Structure 1
């Protein structure tokens, strides 16, 4: 029988004399040593130091197990594990000090240490497998993966643990490496749908595409940007920018029409210049702002055409660059997003791509004017809002996000009048 406490070391043993209450102190000390050393048998190694109890019955019970001079109350004694192993073996041929301690404490010993050792061994197998397989990759892919550093990168990103939690770590890793092997050399491109033969949607979502991007050092950006860095074209017809009031060069668009420019069009976008240099374009995160501005303009018959670009969430690098290209054509650009961690990141990305743009109604004053009741958890860095040094402290103090809809009346006024009412350069 395979005992759950000692793995079967107690088979055929007479444990009753060893499990008396008078010996509990000794086995508890042995159990603590086993946990610390990661050795559940304790048949050898350095002696274990114990403190002799004051009770005569406890000392008498241990006298036959601890060799040497008589046991004195309170003294420290070193217990030879080899001698203790021989003593307990009298009660069972496979019995060990650790097995007796496990039964005395009612639990398996050294579980955490054994689990750590198992995880270390499993991690080592992934490292060896990765380094061996990466050596067979094409040279230009090997430069991306970096066999010497890739395991460290995966471990830092949490991917080693994530792999070990999958049903087939080696199989998933092999799949990712097979995809990486199909990546094009510099100067060439490939459609992402061709990277997994016979399965054009294998890399649309899920753990496999995320692992490929992590392996190649391309996981720190939006997925589309990461693939673009690798020379991989994603579907370029979905996503993009929703616009009204601005027109690509040479396009004929009905006045007031709203349209979506997909990534395919944004890749080489050229904008019509404004009729008057310095006319403002308003960039927003949420489609509700563009819809409200367009609807209000139609309802009121406004003479000012709303000029709004909506990123509909996180802007890709391509979208940011397309917005930045407006500056080169003579437009003034005002950018904004929600007052939360993601929204601040969106604004930073847009300002980096369009250095002449301004943060539109994204100041501490604007935030404080719109904060709702209630609390939330905002985790912000001091550097998250470089356009206004007071914004992050204000958001930390109130710890509640403010969404663009909360500022809608002011935003619509700015769009309608054609100039941002509050901005930071």
Structure 2
């Protein structure tokens, strides 16, 4: 490999000094720019047009290279690149017009175009690898992947750029399709940690492999735990879950201001205690900041009884079912989330499984009180049907065009928690 920073070694054993003079810089600059445009660092074939400079010395210096005729200032001259190649090779048998231009401009030429071409060639190869591997998948996986749309879906999700930048993209494609091939058929389940032999952490959250597998099955818009569970793959059951204060599974004994996380394993097997009265409320929130404030309320002397669950974002199916189990066991449930597209989806998911739950300060007046001073945040697209508990809410949110977050109503929420009711 050449040690030259400007070419691939064509300059070896040559004397370029007579060619890269100050007077000829205009010519090599024009040739260098043409090489960049064409993606051809050599420029030994075809022709290009150059414009003669105003300086007489600069025009005179190029006469020999351009065929011997006089150049006038501003004149357009067509350069025969094969003839120019023959003339520069008087100074070195491997020289090309592009090589000389690269040395005159002190940089390699056509790098962007070559990089683009290399990237396109890599992506073509990756698509071929993917198409062949997907065709070999078991039938029960075909329906999940939607083979004709797989590559387009990766493009829309930004995965082509990630693959092009990955150090071993072909290996990543092979690993991802091997994971798909190992997915269990309907009625059976697999452990996520066993899908990649010898590496139980290969599919941990945040790894490129996990992301690519979920992108191929079009599960990137759902929570990871639910996405894997829908594929028949068991996610770990000791992380995530519901943050809790004042309401815990039956048999647990904790201080009234203790904040704990009830992991999925416990949510799946635990039973909620019955409520002390038929009018006792449990509150459900989306943001841990509300829990932090509520813990301070519960720690006062005398303590204020607080019963609060936090989903930390959109709840999983298991978490929604756990909230619904509270309602079935006699608790009254009040739930809320942020006034944005994710928060509204959170509410719809919870209310669809737990229709007895009451939206907690999630109506038009609450939104208008929350939105306050307009911010730079913009509201993602929502539909008029996104707030079935209060159809006017979606209309007002669309018209206002700004999200609002739970923290804006924190004092009101704490008052409700202290009273034990979702309204005065």
Q: Does the pair score TM above 0.5?
A: yes
Aligned to 1:348: 345
Closer/same/farther in 2, CA of residues 368 and 148 from structure 1, 3 Å limit? closer
8 Å CA contact 2:337–2:346 kept in 1: the answer is no
**Superposed, which structure 2 residues align to 1:8-407 within 5 Å?**
8-45=9-46, 47-67=47-67, 70-207=70-207, 208-243=209-244, 261-264=262-265, 266=267, 280-284=281-285, 285-286=287-288, 287-292=291-296, 294-295=298-299, 299-300=301-302, 306-323=306-323, 333-337=333-337, 345-354=342-351, 357-360=358-361, 363-367=366-370, 378-381=377-380, 383=382, 387=393, 404=407, 407=409
| Unmatched runs of 5 consecutive residues or more in structure 1 | none
Aligned to 1:418: 420
Deviates more, 1:192-201 or 1:330-339: 330-339
Q: Secondary structure in 2 aligned to 1:39?
A: coil
Closer/same/farther in 2, CA of residues 244 and 96 from structure 1, 3 Å limit? closer
**For the residues of structure 2 that align with 1:336 and 1:319, how far apart are their CA atoms?**
14
Q: How far apart are 1:62 and its partner, in Å? A: 1.6
**For the residues of structure 2 that align with 1:79 and 1:22, how far apart are their CA atoms?**
18
Q: Secondary structure in 1 aligned to 2:18?
A: helix
Q: Secondary structure in 1 aligned to 2:370?
A: helix
Q: CA RMSD in A?
A: 3.7
Q: Secondary structure in 2 aligned to 1:23?
A: helix
**For the residues of structure 2 that align with 1:113 and 1:402, how far apart are their CA atoms?**
46
**For the residues of structure 2 that align with 1:413 and 1:200, how far apart are their CA atoms?**
47
**For the residues of structure 2 that align with 1:388 and 1:145, how far apart are their CA atoms?**
34
8 Å CA contact 1:37–1:113 kept in 2: the answer is yes
Q: How many residues align?
A: 404
After superposition, give the CA deviation of every residue in 1:79-117 in whole Å (9 maximum; x if it has no partner).
Answer: 111121122122221111111111111111111111111
Q: Secondary structure in 2 aligned to 1:239?
A: coil
**For the residues of structure 1 that align with 2:112 and 2:316, how far apart are their CA atoms?**
44
TM-score by length of 1: 0.80
Q: How far apart are 1:51 and its partner, in Å? A: 1.2
Closer/same/farther in 2, CA of residues 358 and 58 from structure 1, 3 Å limit? same
Q: Secondary structure in 2 aligned to 1:49?
A: strand
8 Å CA contact 2:41–2:110 kept in 1: the answer is yes
Q: How far apart are 1:289 and its partner, in Å? A: 4.4
**For the residues of structure 1 that align with 2:103 and 2:87, how far apart are their CA atoms?**
17
Q: How far apart are 1:226 and its partner, in Å? A: 0.9
| Unmatched runs of 5 consecutive residues or more in structure 2 | 388-392
